[in-house]
Amino acid sequence: MELLIKNGIIYDPLNRIGGEKMDILVKDGKIVSRVKNPKVIDAGGRLVMPGGVDMHTHIAGGKINVGRMLRPEDGRRGIEPRRKLTRVCTGYSVPNTFATGYRYAKMGYTTTFEPAMPPLLARHTHEEFRAIPMVDKGGIPLLDNHWLIMEYIKSGDMDKLTAFIAWMMNATKGYGIKIVNPGGAEAWGWGKNVKSLDDIVPNFDITPAEIIHGLAEANERLNLPHSIHIHCNNLGHPGNYDTTLATFDLVKDVASEKRQVMHATHVQYHSYGGSTWADMDSKADEIAKYINSHDHVTIDPGQVMFGDTTTMTADGPMEHELHMMSKRKWTNKDVELETGSGIIPVFYSRKVSINSIQWAIGLELALLIKSPWKTALTTDHPNGAPFTRYPEIISLLMSEKRREEALRNVHDAINKRAIIASIDRELNWEDITIMTRAAPSKILGLDKYGKGQLGIGADADISIYDISPEEEDPRKIQSALSHAKYTIKGGEIVVKDGEIVAVPEGRTYWVNPEFDGETTKDMLDDLAVKFKEYYSVNLANYPVQDAYVPHPVEIKTKV
């Protein structure tokens, strides 16, 4: 099918287009320079962007699914009946797979990455990917607490480390290296945690700092499109910002010419000053200062929005701490040799000082970091809030007036222990397009594969919003972003006037690094021992079969 989108105001930052009236041509799912007999969409001066890219959203796999089982009360929120084209929808913070796909598409999003795939349970993540329509997907396997990874880093065997990571990308059909509270999951196997970058992981004689550095090096040796993707140690602890800054500093000697060498995720939860919850304050300024003066780290905020949601993370000990504080229902799931996880419901209240400060910090990070290329917009769905809150967050970032209104209704502490009230920056559409499209795509290394941009040859993933870029009313901005006028996915109109009109399946991106065969053979001998002695499944049954990735996009890399 051919499309001609005319009279749109185009924002395409990767191609240096910032609000120009121009035509977009589409053929066979790609942006092209010529069409013959296209269907014409008159965008009539409305806002046109590449399809949205969410680089960190917990949408598929063991955690979100236990979240659904844990919270039928959440499932009952957001129920929509089956329609001619669409399946039933349920849930708010833990939506079912169908709702996940439809709701992203309705907001103009076309690419979503699940950033916490336990390797042993990767098959489950891919099964849910199959069941999420509308969007392209990728899963990032959790590797930092794997016994073999820790052993190779400890012994300094970079070759085998690299070989094992390459094998894991194949085995999990994974897209990169996720690190979550390095060393923490292993310690949590004994009910313990690690508290600093230099703590020793029990029984493995290695520190979180060594794990992070080793994985960052291996990541660059493998030429992976994405950098290491880290959830730092000490999440949610007052005073943790210095751990965060020290983590950033750990990898500044690791080189990459093409992009960052570390992506730090949901940094809002890692930007706390003070020493207790009573004096916890925002250190978003310190974090922003670091990011503004260094180019090797990118972040996403993990914005908190007020209301009820569900927290879920591979950081098992952290979820237990939350349970000990709130006493709310709690699940935990340790995964042998590899990782762990926990889930707990949460209510972020505007009347609570800590929650108000958390809310402020996310906005502060997005506003204080000067270059939007260094920040991808996230709520760490559903941890800070469900992804459906993005339009509201964008309206806050674009309007000081709306922030002022919001500030009147939050806890007083925000005036003393946060910075937000003093910030007058208002992001513009170019900033927003970067944070929600171009930057996440570039940070993931997907820009080269046609995501987050509208250049010739790019995927024809396009969103058109029923709003003029001149419009300043934040509520109109929120409303327009919530219901795309059109969402075009792979050249097909999938949303029109905020309603689903087509239900494509979406593809799965994964990385296949080529690595030296001899080292791989030696590594496989070590791995065979792990399976024979310690895993509860056989090696032959471990790798995710092709059947689970029906529409793969395989990205090959070379060392």
Partner 1 sequence: MIITDVLCPFCGDLCDDIIVEVENNKIIEVKEACETGVSKMMGHERIAAPMIRENGKLRETTYEEAINKAAKILVNSLRPLIYGWGSTTCEADEKGIELAEKLGAIIDNTTSVCHAPSVLALQNVGLPSCTLGQIKNRADLIIYWGSNQAEAHPRHMSKYTSFSKGLFTKEGRKGKHVLVFDVRKTTTAEVADDFIQLDPGEDYRVLSALRMILAGGEDIVPSCVGGVPKEKLIEIVDRMKSSRFGVLFFGMGLTQSRGKPYNVANAISLVRELNAHTKFAVIPMRGHFNVTGFNQVCAWATGFAFAVDFARGQPWYNPGETSSVDVLNRGECDSALIIASDPAAHFPRKCVEHLKKIPLIQIDPCPGPTTELADVVIPVAITGIEVEGTAYRMDGVPLRLRKIIEPSHLSDEEILSRILDKVRELRGD
Residues near partner 1 (CB under 8 A) are: 60, 62, 64-66, 68-72, 75-76, 79-82, 84, 87-88, 90-91, 94-98, 120-121, 123-124, 127-128, 131, 147, 188-191, 203, 320, 323-324, 329-337, 340, 343-344, 533-538, 540-541, 545, 547
Note whether 211 and 150 are within 8 A (CB): yes
Q: Output 75 or 184, the one with its CB closest to partner 1.
A: 75
Q: Which residues pair with 290 in a beta bridge?
A: none
What is the closest distance, in whole angstroms, from the C-beta atom of residue 121 to partner 1 in the complex? Answer: 7
Residue 382, preceding bond cis, omega within 30 degrees?
yes
Note whether 272 and 238 are within 8 A (CB): yes
Q: Output 84 or 558, the one with its CB closest to partner 1.
A: 84
In angstroms, the first-to-last Cα distance of the chain is 39
What is the closest distance, in whole angstroms, from the C-beta atom of residue 62 to partner 1 in the complex? Answer: 6
Q: Output 30 or 333, the one with its CB closest to partner 1.
A: 333
Q: State both tokens at 195.
A: 């508290």
What is the closest distance, in whole angstroms, from the C-beta atom of residue 131 to partner 1 in the complex? Answer: 6
Q: State both tokens at 425.
A: 């920056």
Q: Output 3 or 344, the one with its CB closest to partner 1.
A: 344
What is the closest distance, in whole angstroms, from the C-beta atom of residue 263 to partner 1 in the complex? Answer: 27
Q: Output 409 or 541, the one with its CB closest to partner 1.
A: 541
Owner of token pair 């750990």:
250
Q: State both tokens at 253.
A: 């000697």
Task: Assign 533 to helix, strand or coil.
Answer: helix
What is the closest distance, in whole angstroms, from the C-beta atom of residue 192 to partner 1 in the complex? Answer: 8
Report the alpha-carbon angle 310-315-320, nearest 5. Answer: 70
C-alpha to C-alpha distance for 290 and 248, rounded to whole angstroms: 9
C-alpha to C-alpha distance for 299 and 373, rounded to whole angstroms: 9
What is the closest distance, in whole angstroms, from the C-beta atom of residue 90 to partner 1 in the complex? Answer: 3
Q: Output 70 or 354, the one with its CB closest to partner 1.
A: 70
Which residues, including other chains, have CB under 8 Å from residue 182's CB and lie 6 or more apart?
144, 145, 194, 208, 211, 212, 230, 233
C-alpha to C-alpha distance for 305 and 300, rounded to whole angstroms: 15
Q: Output 40 or 537, the one with its CB closest to partner 1.
A: 537
What is the closest distance, in whole angstroms, from the C-beta atom of residue 151 to partner 1 in the complex? Answer: 11
